Amino acid sequence: MGLHRTDEAWLDQQWSDPATRVLVVSGSRLRPVQGEIRWVSPQEAPQGRRVLLGERDGVVHLAVLVRPADAPGPREEWVPLRAVLPWLAEISPDAAPFLFHAVGLAEWHHSMRYCPRCAGRLESRAAGHELCCEACGKSQFPRTDPAVIMAITRERDDALLLGRQATWPERRWSTLAGFCEPGETLEDAVRREVREETDVQVGDVTFFGNQPWPFPSSLMLGFTGVATSEEIQVDEAEIAEARWFTREEFLEEAATGRLQVPRGVSISSSLIEWWLGQPIEHGWG
């Protein structure tokens, strides 16, 4: 698909094909219709900035980025991507990558409005994947910020370390996470973030998996790790509370509603389910 981004004739051909599927993004919001994300034909799509997303099963998928003022339908019907995350997996296993790609590029177009070198006007190119300054010619490309997210366990009983941000409801918990700093390995980022947020020391760190996370432009890199200390002292800045959960405590508190953790497509949910050894039945999307 990358080679087609600059092929205007090919792009025009796909846009004239009724089989092409188009996702309309207002700002960085989506409009579910009867609980589903609706893909329309190019003929049904409004005017806006066209972005090439990719191809699946011989069908080309694009997005049209429109200003909120130009979006069809009532404004309250347009919701952020987080609002549709709980049921993404139920729609299609291939839905999330296209949605993440579309919303990530929409966020980038919204934030990258002027050239960082000369403050000149930026022109969209390469089917929405490049912004070129009309004044100095400097090109800008979508950036991705690496962030680590980790399931940390203690060695003596394999309990899991979870934390809760101060802005969250009291029952909401999740695995710890944070951004990688310049000059830092991902494994050291895991150890530093856990130490800074909870004062827990971490030894062995193992890569688990990754997930694009367009809020607004992160790549979540999942890890597992084994703690070398147990005492918790939260930083009281990012983390309001942290504690160890045994599997028995986790299942009991989740069943009664005292504990709510991420569910759905979130890699945090995958990390917790890996540790738990079974799907999460109670949680938040």
Mean pLDDT by groups of 10 residues along the chain of 285 residues = 90 97 95 86 96 94 94 91 70 75 94 95 97 97 96 97 93 96 97 97 98 90 98 92 97 94 88 95 67
Range of the domain at 19: 2-111
Whether residues 41 and 158 fall in one domain:
no
The angle, 0 to 180 degrees and rounded to 10, between the axes of the packed helices 267-276 and 247-256 is 120
Predicted pLDDT at 130: 97
- Which residues in 176-200 are b (16+ Cβ under 10 Å) and which e? bbbebeeeeeebebbbbbbeebbeb
- Among 58, 86, 111, the domain boundary falls at 111
Whether residues 153 and 274 fall in one domain:
yes
- Helical spans, DSSP H, in the chain: 8-15, 88-91, 95-111, 186-198, 247-256, 267-276
Residue 278 CB coordination number (10 Å)? 8
Whether residues 103 and 150 fall in one domain:
no
Provide the token pair at 244.
């160890």
Residue whose C-alpha is closest to residue 37's, from 20, 24, 55:
24
Query: Is residue 130, in this structure, part of any structural domain at all?
Result: no
Query: Is residue 246, in this structure, part of any structural domain at all?
Result: yes
The beta strand positions in the chain, using DSSP E, are: 21-26, 29-30, 32-33, 36-37, 49-56, 59-66, 79-80, 122-125, 130-133, 139-140, 145-154, 160-165, 176-179, 202-213, 218-227, 239-245, 261-262, 283-284
Whether residues 99 and 185 fall in one domain:
no
Whether residues 241 and 169 fall in one domain:
yes
Predicted pLDDT at 201: 98
Burial degree of 222 (CB within 10 A; 0-12, 13-18, 19+) = buried
Whether residues 52 and 183 fall in one domain:
no
Predicted pLDDT at 93: 58
Query: Half-sphere exposure (CA, 13 Å, Cβ side) for 77?
Result: 14
Query: Is residue 243, in this structure, part of any structural domain at all?
Result: yes
Predicted pLDDT at 3: 87
- 156 to each of 153, 160, 165, 274, how far by Cα in Å? 9, 11, 26, 18
CATH number for position 51: 3.90.79
Euclidean distance between CA atoms 121 and 124, whole angstroms:
10
CATH number for position 250: 3.90.79.10
Euclidean distance between CA atoms 38 and 25, whole angstroms:
11
Euclidean distance between CA atoms 28 and 226, whole angstroms:
38
Query: Is residue 131, in this structure, part of any structural domain at all?
Result: no
Residue 112 DSSP class:
-
Question: In total, how many domains does the chain have?
Answer: 2
End-to-end CA distance of the chain: 31
Tokens 């993404």 belong to: 88
- Among 90, 111, 132, the domain boundary falls at 111
Query: Is residue 129, in this structure, part of any structural domain at all?
Result: no
pTM (two decimals):
0.85
Whether residues 206 and 277 fall in one domain:
yes
Whether residues 273 and 152 fall in one domain:
yes
- Among 111, 137, 167, the domain boundary falls at 111
Whether residues 160 and 45 fall in one domain:
no
Query: Is residue 87, in this structure, part of any structural domain at all?
Result: yes
Whether residues 151 and 197 fall in one domain:
yes
Euclidean distance between CA atoms 62 and 144, whole angstroms:
21
Query: Is residue 127, in this structure, part of any structural domain at all?
Result: no
Query: Are the C-beta atoms of residues 283 and 254 closer than 8 Å to each other?
Result: yes
Whether residues 151 and 96 fall in one domain:
no
Whether residues 15 and 105 fall in one domain:
yes
Query: Is residue 121, in this structure, part of any structural domain at all?
Result: no
